Structure 1
Amino acid sequence: MSWKNQSGGPWGSGPRGPWGSGPSSSGPTPPDIEDLIRRSQDRLRTMLPGSLGGKGIILILALVMGGWLLSGFYRVQPDEQGVVLRFGKYVYTTQPGLNYHWPYPVETVLTPKVTTINTISVGMRLGEDARRGTSVMRDVPEESLMLTGDENIVDVDFSVFWRIANAEQYLFNVQNPEGTIKAVAESAMREVIGRTNIQPILTGARQGIETGVQDLMQRTLDSYKAGVQITQVQMQKVDPPSQVIDAFRDVQAARADAERAQNEAQTYANRVLPEARGEASRIDNAAQAYRERTVVEARGQAARFLKVFDEYQKAKDVTRERMYLETMERVLGGVDKVMIDPGATSGQGQGVIPVLPLADTFRRPPAQGTQPQGATR
């Protein structure tokens, strides 16, 4: 007997189970999946353009066109410039802010960063240390070894700092801007180093070399219309080649010693020469004064002689006697005198006339044990 008998089975009629008053089928029935699918298909057919007619097609096209036009809005950041291309050709440049261009594929926009300072290193590379697992700077000899003006070799590592000055020229005039800048930097540095001797390069000519390389790079890139501005060239390391660096250091030490000795000699000369010049000037002034004094005295004596000669012409005997007396007074005035009378021979004095030494009376008495000055022998 089938359990699905609509009459209720052997337990009588009605919707009962085999246990009489068992569970009834009057509760909610599960949804029909096929019915749900059919209803969804009906609703989808009502939304198709065929059911809406021409107005539906126009509405959908308007929505699509509006979305396409709205996609033309774009924002340029403060450190960028917007370069608008129309079918791949440059049209114009926009400034930072919200801007609009014809949507793709009519126009597209490129936004390079024009205020960022970029760095390119020549002669050195940043590599990984396998042992320590850290980044290290390694030398690149094929870029850093350069020939100087006096035919020496020097190892130069330097960095170039640059930024975009003209976004249009930077994007379209040079195919590989960074590679071009690096090649121009290496070429300019080799040219400036080739005009300079090695000694100034290793000592005090770095600033002049950096300025010369920067100017030469800027002129070259401007001739290419690369749209790049070189802000700084900085020399990181300037050394002789590693094979001869010890010999160069010895030469540098010898030159430093020679320069120190020259400075000491110059210091000594700066001290001695002024003293010698002052002494020479003093001697010259003294000679001039002596000459002036001698000339004046000679002129005075000549004038006095002329005066005496005039008087002599007037009275020769009187003048002769006066000159004799003045001369004897001048000669005998400072010596001790002894008077001898040839007629007075009697006595022990044998004609010596005692003279009262009035000059010795006013002199200071000599110390004990010393002979008085002017003692008569």
Structure 2
Amino acid sequence: MQVDLEVDGTPVAGLPRFQQAVFHGRRLRQFAIGLSALAAVGLVLAFFVGLFAPLSLWAALLVSQSAGLLVLVAGLQSAWWVTQWRAWAINPPLPVVLAVDDTVAPEGWYERLLDRLGQRSVRLLGQVGAPTLWLGGWALVTLYSLSQFWNLTLPPGALGLSASVGAALSLLLAFGLLVLERQLAQENVAEWPEAAPLAQLSRVAIVCLVLSALCLLFASEASVWPVRLAVLIGLLPGLVAVELLLRAVLSLFSPHRESLEPGLLARSFVADLLRWPPQPLLALQHELHNRFGIDLRQIWAFTYMRRAFLPVLAVVAIVGWSLTGIHEIPLQGRGIYERFGKPVEVFGPGLHAGLPWPLGRVLSVENGVVHELATSVGDVSGPVMADPAEGPAPSTANRLWDASHVNDKSQVIASSRGDKQSFQIVNMDVRFVYRIGLTDQAALAATYNSTDVPTLIRSTASRILVHDFASRTLDGLLGEDRVGLAEEIGQAVQADLNKLDSGVEILATVVEAIHPPAGAANAYHGVQAAQIGAQALISRERGAAAEATNQAQLQASIARDQATASAHEINATAQAADLKFTAEQKAYASAGQAFVLEQYFSQLTQGLANARLLVLDHRLGGSGNAPTIDLRTFTLPADPASPRSSAQPGATH
């Protein structure tokens, strides 16, 4: 029951909670300072861990633990404000006579506006109250820190000795808070009403610390649940922080009086659920009974529900347990059904019914899923990220000999130095594309005959490669032997896997790269460069000889063709002359003198074709008109006897 100082005769000095207010305030301050320091250290460590190792488990774990401590600190400070009011109520301070304010009012409108805003801000903060502001601030800090480190995609990993040390420290701090929680839970309500809510808030921090210790103890590279649990731990203090923030906001709408005893703001319904046996509706029942006089225990429907709860729960549990016998097999998978631990049938994709767990269970088996496996021991399977087509080439495309590659494995091959046999080491990247056989027998063999199929393939392939490469040379591997190398290795590995009844089917064998070790790459480059230079010189000389031979053959062919053409031309001319002579003989025999005259005219026409002639025939004009020549159309003839230069008149010789 709250105390109102304005009511006359209120005996606050006789109330135990007022008498011990100073002692409680001192304890709350010490606890709040210590826990806030621990929470600050945890947040700082989480910040640096997130800065240098963002995928580590420690960042999320430290933030979850610090959030639990911050929620408890918020409750402790809220209770401290209540104890301060009680200490003030039992020992009120002496009234202070305020001096007359002689300050001069500001003259300018801007100064008056600032002064008015400042006074209103101070008045508003006074109405809100420091407890509300501090409670909202702690809640916001908790929510912000959790949101910054919330990541459900953290990869699992082993933490080593640091995990054991962190788990021990978490359990030690949880034990100290458990002692505090037991002390608060045993406090009398009349002496300290806020002890029970503070005990509930301390359970939140204890749960966070204990769960964090479990995550640290069971963290490993193969376990994912510790990482997920470390992040999900923050949900509990996050829900409590949201409730405290909501209570701080709602407290703004409740009236505040200096004479009325304040109540504890940092009460949490979520933290109140952390009790055994759990009674989630107990607080609601008490509130309804105290405020409205409604007793849920007197309602027949609720009584019937309480009586029928266990039978209904049992029926639901039995039905749920029976439904565990229904199994759904995905399209890319198969399932081996075990009845009482014995494999009975291989289920295909779809829904199948069987005995419920643990009488019957289904083991998942792949159905046609293709895998790629490198023979290198350092090969670590991870998510394949597609590289952009326009970006730089991926690191796996680097095939330079002077660099070491992750997937390369060293092999000893045969070699020769002079007349002596020797060996040399080469690095190679051999990959196998495999899948589990599509038959039921292959699925059973892959499930029960081998615990780790990739390790089995890798060990078998390593043995085959050592045996096969011992009889090969580097020149052969880089040359003609490489064509059938992958097929031979794949057949040998498949034969050994069949002997072991592994149920694995090798689809393809790919030899990605074969090259000397990175340290000997430069020397081998020199040997290859000399060999390439010698081969290039031989090829160049052979080309020059072939060019000279071809040129000589070309010249001989041209001379022969020219002689043949000249002979054919002479023969053709002679044949043409012979044919012409024969034709003229036949014409003369037939025509006689007319043919000769015709030939004469023809030859005369050919001879005078380009001559300038003037033919005079006296028979053309008849007897009266003689032929006449018009000399005006002719050029004057030049007299060769005339002197080249004539003397000028009057000249003296």
Q: What TM-score, normalized by structure 1, do the two folds share?
A: 0.52
Partner of 1:318: none
- The residue identity in structure 1 corresponding to 2:296 is L
1:216-261 alpha-carbon deviations (Å, 9 max, x no partner): 1101111111111111221222111222212212222333344456
Aligned residue number for residue 502 of structure 2: 226
What pairs up with 1:26-65 in 2 under 5 angstroms?
31-33=292-294, 35-39=295-299, 42-44=303-305, 47=308
Which has more helix, going by share of residues? 2
Report whether the alignment pairs 1:148 with 2:413: yes
Aligned equivalents of 2:307, 2:451: Cα separation in 1: 56
Q: CA 1:228–1:269 in 2, change beyond 3 Å: closer, same or farther?
A: farther
Match of 1:119 among 366, 372, 389: 372
Report deviation, 1:62.
Answer: 7.4
| Whole-angstrom distance in 2 between the partners of 1:136 and 1:91 | 47
RMSD of aligned alpha carbons: 3.8
How many Å separate the matches in 2 of 1:204 and 1:250?
22
Farther-moved stretch of structure 1 (161-170 vs 35-44): 35-44
Distance 1:174 1:266, change over 3 A: farther
Which letter maps to 1:43?
A: Y
**Pair 1:234–1:38, CA change in 2 (3 A):** same
Aligned AA for 1:149? Answer: A
SS at match of 1:148: strand
**Aligned partners of 1:148 and 1:154 also within 8 Å:** yes
Matched, 1:217 2:493: yes
Hey, what does 1:83 align to over in structure 2? 336
Cα distance in 2 for residues equivalent to 1:48 and 1:164: 49
Are 1:72 and 1:104, in contact at CA under 8 Å, matched by a contact in 2?
Answer: yes
Q: Which amino acid aligns with 2:304?
A: R
The Cα offsets for residues 119-165 of structure 1, whole Å up to 9 and x where unpaired, read as 2223364699xxxxxx9566359x71111122121111222211111
Q: Distance in 2 between matches of 1:243 and 1:236?
A: 20
The letter for the 1-side match of 2:482 is R
Query: Residues 240 and 37 of structure 1: is their aligned pair in 2 closer, same or farther, counting only changes over 3 Å?
Result: same
**Which whole-Å deviations, capped at 9, do the CAs of 1:77-119 have from their partners, x for residues lacking one?**
2211111112222111011122222221111002222211112
2:434 paired residue number: 162
CA distance in 1, matches of 2:381, 2:326: 42
Q: CA deviation at 1:211?
A: 1.1
Against the structure 1 CA distance between its residues 144 and 72, is the aligned structure 2 distance closer, same or farther, given a 3 Å change threshold?
A: same
In structure 2, relative to structure 1, the CA distance for the partners of 1:266 and 1:214 (3 Å cut) is: farther
- Deviation at 1:61? 7.8
Length-normalised TM-score, structure 2: 0.31
In structure 2, the partner of 1:282 is none
Match of 1:106 in 2: 359
Secondary structure in structure 2 of the residue aligned to 1:112? strand
Which SS does the other structure have where 1:152 is aligned? strand
Cα distance between partner residues in 2 of 1:62 and 1:241? 69
**Mapping of 1:243-254 within 5 angstroms?**
243-254=519-530
> Structure 2: which amino acid aligns with 1:39?
I
State the partner residue of 2:464: 188
Q: SS of the counterpart of 1:230?
A: strand
The CA deviation at 1:180 is: 1.1
Label 1:237 to 1:194 Cα distance change in 2 as closer, same or farther (>3 A). Answer: same
- Shift of the 104–267 alpha-carbon distance from structure 1 to 2, 3 Å rule, reads same
Cα pair distance change 1:48/1:121, threshold 3 Å: closer
Q: How does 1:1-377 map to 2 (within 5 A)?
A: 31-33=292-294, 35-39=295-299, 42-44=303-305, 47=308, 66-123=319-376, 125=379, 139=405, 144-150=409-415, 151-165=423-437, 166-260=442-536
SS of alignment partner, residue 530 of structure 2: helix
Q: Which has the larger radius of gyration?
A: 1
**Compared with structure 1, are the counterparts of its residues 92 and 119 closer, same or farther at alpha carbon in structure 2 (3 Å cutoff)?**
same
* Structure with the largest fraction of strand: 1
**Distance in 2 of aligned mates of 1:263 and 1:95:** 63
In structure 2, distance between residues paired with 1:240 and 1:96? 48
Q: Distance in 2 between matches of 1:45 and 1:176?
A: 52
Looking at structure 2, the residues matched to 250 and 111 of structure 1 have their Cα atoms a distance apart, in angstroms, of: 54
Q: Distance in 1 between matches of 2:509 and 2:354?
A: 39
Match of 2:599 in 1: none
Q: CA deviation at 1:184?
A: 1.3
Secondary structure of residue in 2 paired with 1:81:
strand
d(CA) in 1 for partners of 2:498, 2:543:
50
Counterpart residue type for residue 179 of structure 1: T
Give me the whole-angstrom Cα distance separating, in 1, the residues matched to 2:297 and 2:458: 68
Deviations 1:193-215 (A, max 9, x none): 11211101123432322111111
Is 1:125–1:139's contact at 8 Å kept on the other side of the alignment?
no
Report the equivalent of 2:576: none
- C-alpha spacing 1:95/1:199, structure 2 compared with 1 (3 Å): same
Q: Distance in 2 between matches of 1:148 and 1:48?
A: 76
CA distance in 2, matches of 1:32, 1:230: 77
1:32 to partner: Cα distance: 2.6
Residue of structure 2 equivalent to 1:320: none
Task: Give the counterpart letter for 1:156 in structure 2.
Answer: M
Whether the 8 Å contact between 1:82 and 1:93 is mirrored in structure 2 is yes
Distance 1:127 1:75, change over 3 A: closer
| Contact 1:158–1:233, Cα closer than 8 Å, also in 2 | yes
Q: What is the number of residues matched between the two proteins?
A: 232
Aligned with 1:116: secondary structure? coil
- The separation in 1 between residues aligned to 2:315 and 2:517, in whole angstroms, is 73
Q: Distance in 1 between matches of 2:339 and 2:381?
A: 42
* Stretches of structure 2 lacking an aligned partner (at least 5 in a row): 1-290, 383-393, 397-403, 416-422, 554-653
Residue type at the aligned position of 1:102: L
* CA deviation string 1:49-68 (max 9, x = no partner): 9xxxxxxx8x9987765544
